[in-house]
Amino acid sequence: MKLWLEKQRYLIDFTLESLARRKARNLGLLGVYTVLVFVLASVALYTHALRQEAANVLAASPEVILQRLVAGRHDLIPPGYIEKVGRIRGVQKKEGRLWGYYYDAVVKANYTFMVPNDGSVAKGEIVVGPALERSRGLAAGNGISFRSYSGKLHTFIVASVLPQASEIVSADLLLMHEDDFRAFFDYPAGHYTDIALTVANPQEVRNVATKLAAALPDSRPILRDEVLRTYASIFDWREGIVLALLSAAILAFGILAWEKASGLSAEEKREIGILKAIGWETGDIIKMKFWEGLLISLTAFLAGFVAAYVHVFYAGAGLFEPVLKGWAVLYPEFRLTPHVDGLQVATLFFFTVFPYAAAVLVPIWKAAITDPDAVMRG
């Protein structure tokens, strides 16, 4: 084993010397190779991190959200509806929610008005999200007025600003007291926007949803798992758009790498002929060239992946952020939590390293089995 390791070390040393003799050509290929890995890894890391953020955010969301439909459209929950839901076996907890959208012509953006169920906001006061604070220049103690859809002007005092750490879900959020919400949107007493449900047995969530749909034909149960799948589909779709836009560049690199790997220059053929003439075996030449391809592809993969990691988790992924995250007037500012999927890295490694490393074997084998004199003569 020790002898084998020594032999591989000598082969690697010779391979590095051989690469250094064609420095400009190999550095150019390495640079293009690294950029390709960087782009693919950035897209993969960013979309995976977004999926994880969505999963973490939705982990604390209700297991089932029940909406009432009228003519196929979302309508208010009338009085007595919540009591009907409570009779469904398996429902552990139920609570009506009050929330709605408001368009602010000042910043030309939509806000989400919501009533916290814990009653933490006093009447006449509001709690605003970080993006809303930045766009309107608000601070605790400031007053702000909104004109409701009925034309009335309502004035509120900013009690506090939600923490920066929650901006991914609270950027455009505005929390207010229930009485203020009903007065602002002219909500009738006893009516709610939807119902949040907690199921006693998590394994029975889908069965409970089926019972709800059967008992209340005008209802639409929305499961947390379905919301997660929707977000995953959106991120997959956006990832596919980016990769489709980059497909021409990927194809061009593939042609370049294949041409470089599958064709030997006259200098390389001459080098192989000399090695054969001085006693190198065919297997040693193949191993030497395999190490050459592996060193180039492995170096490009490591450099590209590290650069992509820094780009995504420390530089905000500025190259792909607008496409993968979407856009909004009140855009949340948040830093993704570093998260790497081992299977994703292994897949990227397999499709970027092994094809190039393997592509060098056929032309090298053909040259290595040829008579040294014929090889050196071209």
Q: What is the largest CA-CA distance in the chain?
A: 97
| pLDDT at residue 277, rounded to an integer | 63
Inter-residue contact 313 to 335 (CB < 8 Å): yes
| pLDDT at residue 4, rounded to an integer | 63
CA–CA separation, 378 vs 365, rounded Å? 16
Chunked into runs of 10 residues, the chain (378 residues) has average pLDDT values of 65 66 74 86 86 81 91 91 86 92 88 90 93 87 91 93 82 93 93 92 89 90 88 78 70 65 61 65 70 81 93 82 65 77 86 74 63 56
Query: Helix, strand or coil for residue 149?
Result: coil
Sign of dihedral through CA atoms 260, 262, 265, 267?
A: positive
> What is the CATH topology of the domain spanning 64-223?
Barwin-like endoglucanases (2.40.40)
CA–CA separation, 376 vs 266, rounded Å? 8
| pLDDT at residue 90, rounded to an integer | 85
| pLDDT at residue 157, rounded to an integer | 95
**Residue 215, CB half-sphere, CA atoms under 13 Å: how many?**
17
135: nearest Cα among 104, 160, 163, 97: 104
| pLDDT at residue 232, rounded to an integer | 79
Cα dist from 156 to 79, 143, 180, 262, 267, whole Å: 28, 6, 9, 71, 79
Q: For the chain, give every domain's residue range.
A: 2-58+232-377, 64-223
Which two structure tokens, joined as six digits, stand for 318? 């500025």
CA–CA separation, 257 vs 351, rounded Å? 13
**Structure-token match 């590209």, residue found:** 304
| pLDDT at residue 106, rounded to an integer | 84
| pLDDT at residue 283, rounded to an integer | 66
| pLDDT at residue 342, rounded to an integer | 86
Inter-residue contact 129 to 174 (CB < 8 Å): yes
| pLDDT at residue 237, rounded to an integer | 78
pTM of the model: 0.74
Residue 330 — left, alpha, or beta (φ > 0 → left; ψ -120 to 50 → alpha)? beta
